[in-house]
Amino acid sequence: DQQVKQNSPSLSVQEGRISILNCDYTNSMFDYFLWYKKYPAEGPTFLISISSIKDKNEDGRFTVFLNKSAKHLSLHIVPSQPGDSAVYFCAAIHPTGNQFYFGTGTSLTVIP
Amino acid sequence: EAGVAQSPRYKIIEKRQSVAFWCNPISGHATLYWYQQILGQGPKLLIQFQNNGVVDDSQLPKDRFSAERLKGVDSTLKIQPAKLEDSAVYLCASSLSRLNTGELFFGEGSRLTVL
């Protein structure tokens, strides 16, 4: 049962444009959401997070939006750079037990 | 600050053989996780430790997988006997505490190929 879903396995964007990565979840109990970035042959690294009491969090070129009623979050990268090319995973935390649930990932390619 | 260390990075075995993976979390991190990531999928939690106690092992195939964290520091994940479908990257992660809603710190992973 996949509680966190990323329906786009891949995305290609021109350098300088906006990248929008989407994530949907099914469990309304999730209270914290994170985005991780993964390069080949490396472990995922933390990128940005958002609490369920907020609807937006911004960190430099990265902004995460949360729509609780739609159980949807998105990651915006502006402007996109070739170094952003990686697989992006969204994750949600269930408050009981602090369990992290990961999506299936979206492979982003930023074309120079 | 040293990151999460995992070994071996790569392992190739035949089905029905056994394998063990080792993880040393970031110093001071009380919570340790083992994830299985099959190609094209997101990481799936196998087991979560808080110090040397198991918090969640509901998705660990206990007939063949075992994990321990005897002294509350490093951990070992064992598979015996391995099946073809166990081919995956095994990721170890740690965090400061169970109640920490911040980030997980991942190791580079151990890639297992079962032939």
pLDDT digits (tens, 9 = 90+) for B66-75: 999 988 899 9
Residues of chain B contacting A93 with CB distance shorter than 8 Å: 101
pLDDT at B101 (0 to 100): 61
| Residues of chain B where predicted confidence (pLDDT) is lower than 70 | 1, 97-102
pLDDT at A99 (0 to 100): 78
DSSP-derived secondary structure for chain A: --SEE---SEEEEETTS-EEEEEEE--TT--EEEEEEE-TTS--EEEEEEETT-SEEEETTEEEEEETTTTEEEEEESS--GGG-EEEEEEEEETTTTEEEE---EEEEEE-
Chain A contact residues (CB < 8 Å to B):
4, 6, 9, 31-32, 34, 36, 41-46, 49, 51, 89, 93, 97-105
Token digits of residue A112 = 């120079």
Which among B40, B91, B99 has CB closest to A43? B91
pLDDT at A22 (0 to 100): 98
Percent of chain B scored above 70 by pLDDT?
94
| Residues of chain A where predicted confidence (pLDDT) is lower than 70 | 1, 97
Residues of chain A contacting B109 with CB distance shorter than 8 Å: 42-43
Q: Would you call A46 and B104 a contact, using CB atoms and an 8 Å cutoff? A: yes
pLDDT at A92 (0 to 100): 92
pLDDT at B64 (0 to 100): 97
